[in-house]
Amino acid sequence: MELIRLTKAYKGVPAVRDVFLIVREDEYLTLLGPSGSGKTTLLRLLSGLEKPDAGQIHLNGEDVTYRPPHLRGLGIVQQNYALFPHMSVEDNVAFGLRYRLIDPVTDEGEVKRRVAETLELVGLTGFEARMVGQISGGQKQRVSLARTLVTRPKICLLDEPLGALDANLRERMTVELRKIRETLGVTFLHVTGNETEALAMGDRMVVLDKGSIVQADRPDVIFSMPSDVRVARFVNTYNVLEGAVRDGEFQSAGQAMTLPEYARGSEAGFYAIRQDAVEINAAGTVPGPGRTGLQATYIASEFLGSRFAYIFRMPNGGVFEVERHLSHSDPVTYKGGEACSLSWNLSDALVFDPSGAALETTVFKGAA
């Protein structure tokens, strides 16, 4: 599928702006963006539920921009499942085969065979006779997915499909959705507002903000080398400091930080460092060679299962977070209000110009 300068506005307010994107065959593409970024509008344009103000949608070389939804050969899985409560699991899954306008399947033997195959694929064999009210939220999500996949769509559109699930179910479905997609070889376009979900599931990942694509790349590249300060904020693992360069150093929150070599001599407006790349030391500790840092006051810590998050306040009142994985180090206790020195390797720092665009570097960033 190819999206060419796709644009949509509501009452003069742009929801999708000049979007160009190629959705490849046999890939899992995740689309990440905050609330109001245009994710749902874009999905509705792709499915045919909305018409664009400008631009085109091509599917396998054909222009389907104004083609009705039922003629596009696409499937959509919605967050709220959209199942028929008065029907069994089997009848819900079979509905699209029996009642679609184009080429409905009238052979009940064929319907049962395809439904059985699809329910086995999503792990629901034996649930055929259950009513929707008799199954769990995770099982409802699988039924919704099966109802879409049984029609053999060219592309499956998933609109925040895991949003209504609890954390354990979400984690399980993350793995299973990838397995199902790989088994079928169908392209999945998965829309989500959850950065962890987007990073974990996609072969490629698209970051959307205010209706425009900010970055499209492999998840590991987006995570380690965000092309825009907005992306660094969306992946939710960076401390982003706003400031300016003065006397060759980056000044923020009344403190000066050394710039990495690639950023020296450039104009900078933002400085970012991964939360897990920061070291905590006693107040007044001077960073060693190749390192820089700042002074901050400890506020609190939060236990997150496999890691601890330490929260600090900077002199300007801003918050700075440090994450330590328990597999790397034991937790440390600090006193509320205790002054500390925070430092990191210059090679781990990211610098952005005043517009938010990343300054060019060929270095692939990693944790300390």
**What are 157-184's pLDDT values in tens digits?**
999 888 777 777 778 888 888 888 898 8
pLDDT above 70 covers what percent of the chain? 98
Model pLDDT for residues 19-53, shown as the tens digit of each residue: 999 999 999 999 999 989 999 999 999 999 999 99
Model pLDDT for residues 72-129, shown as the tens digit of each residue: 989 988 877 789 999 999 999 999 899 887 888 889 999 999 999 999 988 899 999 9
Mean pLDDT of the chain: 91
Residue 365 above 80 pLDDT? no
pLDDT of residue 89: 95
Q: What is the mean pLDDT of residues 135-163?
A: 89
Model pLDDT for residues 310-354, shown as the tens digit of each residue: 999 998 889 999 999 988 888 889 999 999 999 999 999 999 999
The CA-atom distances, in angstroms, between 83 and each of 116, 135, 301, 307 are: 18, 12, 43, 39
Residue 364 above 60 pLDDT? no
Closest CA to 194 of 39, 367, 23: 39
| Radius of gyration, alpha carbons of the chain | 24
pLDDT of residue 177: 87
Residue 358 above 50 pLDDT? yes
3-state DSSP of the chain: CEEEEEEEEECCEEEEEEEEEECCCCCEEEEECCCCCCHHHHHHHHHCCCCCCEEEEEECCEECCCCCHHHCCEEEECCCCCCCCCCEHHHHHHHHHHHCCCCCCCCHHHHHHHHHHHHHHCCCCCCCCCEHHHCCHHHHHHHHHHHHHCCCCCEEEEECCCCCCCHHHHHHHHHHHHHHHHHHCCEEEEEECCHHHHHHHCCEEEEEECCEEEEEECHHHHHHCCCEHHHHHHCCCEEEEECEEECCEEEECCEEECCCHHHCCCCCCEEEEEHHHCEEEECCCCCCCCEEEEEEEEEEEEECCCEEEEEEECCCCCEEEEEEECCCCCCCCCCCCCEEEEEEEHHHCEEECCCCEECCCCCCCCCC
Q: Are 128 and 89 in contact (CB under 8 A)?
A: yes
Residue 297 above 50 pLDDT? yes
pLDDT of residue 367: 43
Residue 368 above 50 pLDDT? no
In angstroms, the CA 311 to CA 342 distance is: 11
Question: What residue type is 159 in one-letter code?
Answer: D
pLDDT of residue 129: 95
In angstroms, the CA 214 to CA 354 distance is: 16
Model pLDDT for residues 200-242, shown as the tens digit of each residue: 999 999 999 999 999 999 999 999 999 999 999 999 999 999 9
Residue 362 above 90 pLDDT? no
- All structural domains of the chain: 2-223 (3.40.50.300), 237-352 (2.40.50.140)
Residue 361 above 80 pLDDT? no
